[in-house]
Structure 1
Amino acid sequence: MTMAFVTTHPTTNHGEMATILPPNNTISFLRSSKRRRGDCRFFSQPRVFPTVGWDNIDPSIPVEEESIPTYRPERFYPVHIGEVFNHQYQVVGKLGFGSSATVWLCRDLLNHRYITLKIYTASTTVSREIKIYNHLRTIQSNHAGQSCLRPLIEIFRIQSPEGDGVHTCLVHPPLGISLGQLTSLLPDRVMSSIMVRTTVRYILAALDFLHTEARVIHTDLQPNNILLGIKDDSILSKFEQAEVEAPVPRKILKDRTIYLSRPFPISNGTPVLCDLGEARLGTDQQHGDIMPDLYRAPEVILDMSWDCKVDIWNVGLVIWDLFEHCHLFRARNPERKLDDGYHLATIQAVLGCPPRVFLDRSERSEQFWDQNGKWKGAAPIPDDTLEGLEGRLEGDEKVDFLRFLRRMLCWLPEERATAKELLFDPWVMHGLFK
């Protein structure tokens, strides 16, 4: 695939636009020339943003990406609000950051809409993610779950201002806050049963499409990778206007400006599954370490081959996180260090002893169980049960909920239900046809 290669230069006056060299061989896909409703249809010209009026942060205080333990400033592109990328995307505000990228809301000056621009750190390899998106583009499908995945609009690359690094940029439709952010704003910081049911329907639909038609494993399901859709573009224009009227605090350094992310309002759109950076093509016989620490399936912990059922394990843990007040499993020891023994011990407490046929699939299992399948690991087995840990429900509703979870949380991957089967589970379907 050919990508645009664009060189940008940061501005010294934060209200001015960046100087940009003409893009070459730009490849855009899923790009629409249709104008969307709302104020965004009027911004065909770059907007000038304030050059004063913000709070300056003490240079000695680490903020945003600077707080990441592995942070190296030269690896992050020094974005400025007001800067234009690829002759098209003007930055209007910072949405967030991570160890490998910063994310910005932009005006699309050519297509009269807002987009999200994800700018990766220099030389970060995103070939796997691009490969997955290119693969998904080839699939002709009417599957409803396809609309529950975040599409990619365009890919291009930019050069660092000093010319010593290349940054890959991904352009996506804008979305709202993540489920992780949403739960932190809710009463008691957890979702209701109705909210969880509604959310899981969309996630299972997305996974059914990925597993059955796309033949893709996501491998990174977590609340922060599930974002709310946006039905009303006015919240985007309000986000931009807020930056004009009350610019976010920032730390101005010699070679860059570190902006604080602007809080995003809650939107009322449907959940969308995002971030395919760790996805894998092929749904069977995969190998390698995957998944966030707390969400790793037992076959991954024990270095076994794995398949699409790791996503099903993930769904069960995401549901628990959204509905309960603590994580179901603990992956760290009392010293707060990642510890597979403690992780497996908490899994056994909840699921019971693993079947021998499962243990025989990995030589590593001999570190934790004896020949009779009895636990011998250094970590103690907690005195926990799934029934005891679930404290929000009672009676038949609790029985149905835990039965639903047990269809996903199984030692043997082949015993876990498929995404389609889970979509029609009585707990998920409850109240749907009233």
Structure 2
Amino acid sequence: MATKRTPSPQRHTQLLEEESFSWYNSGRFYPVHLGEVFESRYQVLGKLGYGSVSTVWLCRDLKEREYVTLKIYISEHRQARNELNVFTHIRAIKTSHPGLKLIRTLRDAFELPGKLGAHQCLTHKPLGLTLSDLRKQCGGKLPGEPVINYLLLALDFLHTEARVVHTDIQESNIMMTITDDTILKKFEYEERDEPSTCKVDGDRVIYASRALDIPDEPGYPVLCDFSNAQFGEEYYIGEVMPDLYRAPEIVLGIPWNEKIDIWSIGLMLVWDLFEGKHMFNQRLPNRDLSSAAHLARMITLLGPPPMDLLQRGKVSEDFFDKDGRLVADIVIPATSLESEEENLEGEEKALFLQFLRSMLQWEPRDRKSAKELIEDPWLQIQ
């Protein structure tokens, strides 16, 4: 049940936020209004952000007298059901593992009726900057060691106790905790006194997002967005992971497990944050060519793939001949991890590359677990 106050929006002809998606269907996004109260409890204060399948709002919990974020999915979306199932599974785990506080957890869930079906809603404790935002504030690089330690601890909990594979570890899915509610209060007051841009579209109002202020102390990192996470099986099939972070087994069509998260940590947390650049960044118009270029880059950095791995791949023959040679005519300049690492020298560089290689292995079983990585010599000397 929702009550609402009527806003006074201006009319705009330009596409605004979620409208900019080429497949946008207004009937699939729930028509939120500022001031609206859901479940006789959650009062909408302002829009925090949007994505391809959801919008996110800062709300006041009138029952607990505190702030919450509210994620409202588009109608009847697979990811909504999946994320709720994962959060429910995690919430049922009784544990004292310190990694639990380093993942986003569910506070409440409910559904709203819509024109094209039900909208799944999830509430969470508010979080602040994403890791991507924080890196921009730091000029492109971060002192990554504390972040790496925290996220490895989060993954150790997910992999060993929850038996969950995240599948989508990237900077935008890691957010920093808020240590002072002042920035949430300021958001509320500014939205009330100087409302964000909004636009009328028939019977709905589309709002522009308002960013939270940058805090003096960003808190610690929390792993978020479990909409593509998987649990309950030893191995899984199908394509997952952002293109830039795809592990070899994903590209080759090999059943995968939690070791794809370890590959992602190596690329995103260790390399991208520490070096300030992507290890894989070539995108071609044809997806098969992009995959071939991705594999070619792996070969230059890691050496050739094991034949046993290729033999297990459902689509290996699309990229390799029977002798394990790449068949696509892809020119990748010769290079190495040693030559591309530009920030360290001597023993520290050797330990860093050893740490990186323990995650970036062709063969998933050769990658260290999160628990093993926490004890790695490179992290111990930082």
Letter in 2 for 1:239: F
Letter in 1 for 2:59: C
Match of 1:63 in 2: 16
Unmatched segments (≥5 aa) in structure 2: none
2:54 to 97, 101, 123: 101
- The whole-number CA distance in structure 1 between the counterparts of 2:19 and 2:333 is 38
- The whole-number CA distance in structure 1 between the counterparts of 2:254 and 2:237 is 7
Match of 2:164 in 1: 216
Letter in 1 for 2:255: S
Match of 1:386 in 2: 337
Match of 2:112 in 1: 158
Are the equivalent residues in 2 in contact too, given 1:115–1:172 (CA < 8 A)?
yes
Match of 1:249 in 2: 197
Match of 1:177 in 2: 129
Is the deviation greater in 421-430 or in 204-213? 421-430
- The whole-number CA distance in structure 2 between the counterparts of 1:338 and 1:356 is 21
5 Å-filtered alignment, 1:82-101, equals 82-101=35-54
Match of 1:277 in 2: 227
- The whole-number CA distance in structure 2 between the counterparts of 1:420 and 1:275 is 22
Match of 1:177, SS? strand
Match of 1:418 in 2: 369
Cα offset, 1:171, TM superposition: 0.6
Letter in 2 for 1:398: K
Are the equivalent residues in 2 in contact too, given 1:94–1:261 (CA < 8 A)?
yes
Q: Which has the higher helix share?
A: 2
1:112 maps to 2:112: no
Cα offset, 1:322, TM superposition: 2.0
Are the equivalent residues in 1 in contact too, given 2:88–2:106 (CA < 8 A)?
no
Letter in 2 for 1:72: N
- The whole-number CA distance in structure 2 between the counterparts of 1:180 and 1:337 is 28
Letter in 2 for 1:254: G
Is the deviation greater in 128-137 or in 406-415? 128-137
Are the equivalent residues in 2 in contact too, given 1:155–1:168 (CA < 8 A)?
yes
5 Å-filtered alignment, 1:334-353, equals 339-353=290-304
Cα offset, 1:311, TM superposition: 0.5
Match of 1:36 in 2: none
Cα offset, 1:91, TM superposition: 0.8
- The whole-number CA distance in structure 1 between the counterparts of 2:275 and 2:207 is 34
TM-score w.r.t. structure 1 length?
Answer: 0.83
Match of 1:252, SS? strand
5 Å-filtered alignment, 1:250-399, equals 250-267=198-215, 268-282=218-232, 284-319=234-269, 320-330=271-281, 332-333=283-284, 339-399=290-350
Percent identity among equivalent residues? 46
Cα offset, 1:400, TM superposition: 2.1
Cα offset, 1:9, TM superposition: 6.6
Are the equivalent residues in 1 in contact too, given 2:196–2:208 (CA < 8 A)?
yes
- The whole-number CA distance in structure 2 between the counterparts of 1:9 and 1:282 is 39
| C-alpha spacing 1:71/1:10, structure 2 compared with 1 (3 Å) | farther
Are the equivalent residues in 1 in contact too, given 2:81–2:120 (CA < 8 A)?
no
TM-align CA RMSD: 1.9
- The whole-number CA distance in structure 1 between the counterparts of 2:308 and 2:286 is 33
- The whole-number CA distance in structure 2 between the counterparts of 1:123 and 1:262 is 27
1:186 maps to 2:138: yes
- The whole-number CA distance in structure 2 between the counterparts of 1:209 and 1:322 is 23
- The whole-number CA distance in structure 2 between the counterparts of 1:325 and 1:66 is 32
- The whole-number CA distance in structure 2 between the counterparts of 1:393 and 1:62 is 46
- The whole-number CA distance in structure 2 between the counterparts of 1:269 and 1:411 is 35
TM-score w.r.t. structure 2 length?
Answer: 0.93
Structure 1 stretches of 4+ with a deviation exceeding 4 A read: 334-338
- The whole-number CA distance in structure 1 between the counterparts of 2:279 and 2:191 is 40
